[in-house]
Amino acid sequence: MSVHIKAKKGEIAKTVLQPGDPLRAKYMAENFLEDVKLVSDTRNIFYFTGTYRGKEITVGASGMGIPSIGIYSYELFTEYEVDTIIRIGTCGAYTTDLKVFDMLNVESAASESTYAKFAWGIEGEVLKHQGSAYGLINDTAKEYSLPLVSTTIHTSDIFYHKDPGIPAVATKYNCSAVEMEAFALFANAQHLGKNAAAILTVSDVIPTGDQISADEREKALKQMIQLSLETALKLP
């Protein structure tokens, strides 16, 4: 087991699907996987391992923000020898070109965060997805005729703030949306030579105030979950 995940060696699959919310991980495990086993519940951050169409997959939460996903993804990659992590989350759109329920495949994440620099000596404000998962997500979306936007997004450390404008780094790199985790996941994967991708569903459009209601979120996320699972089948 690791410091923050109590699963034993061999109880975490080579591919991990990682929502932020522990209850979303529980929902995925109970509704999409077979032969499911709860392998860790430390700090109520749930990790489940089961099978999807015969392939072993783990689903488990990252928590919110760069520090949290930085910890969990690092321990998964290093302590459990995970090869691929696909983040599954929601985001806020900076542009009216996007609508609620749109799905994004994150090509790159831009951030003001110093995480990559101070953790691994990785310079620069933009990090790309790592490995083959991004391309496989695009291929799978085409195969199932699922609309998908490949884009650069902003990973922010701040949820509540006094300035309603789009941050400078997001404007500089023409970021279409904002979330709080992908940059750290990509940094860890780059440093460790692992695969990392992120699929996001637009939950709100910041300029207009449009948003998905609590009742609509489950429906909105099903398509993203299905896409991640079908993609996982194509991974080694």
Q: Mind telling me the catalytic residues?
A: 204
Q: How many CA atoms lie within 13 A of 66 on its CB side?
A: 22
Residues 86 and 197 sit within 8 Å (Cβ to Cβ): yes
Question: Which of 81, 103, 117 minimizes the C-alpha distance to 222?
Answer: 103
Could you give phi then psi for residue 179, rounded to 5 degrees?
-145, -165
Q: How many CA atoms lie within 13 A of 209 on its CB side?
A: 0
CA-based torsion, 149, 200, 65, 130: positive or negative: negative
Q: What is the dihedral of CA 214, 178, 67, 138, to 10 degrees?
A: 90
Residues 122 and 114 sit within 8 Å (Cβ to Cβ): no
> Rounded to whole angstroms, how far apart are CA atoms 195 and 82?
9
DSSP 109: E
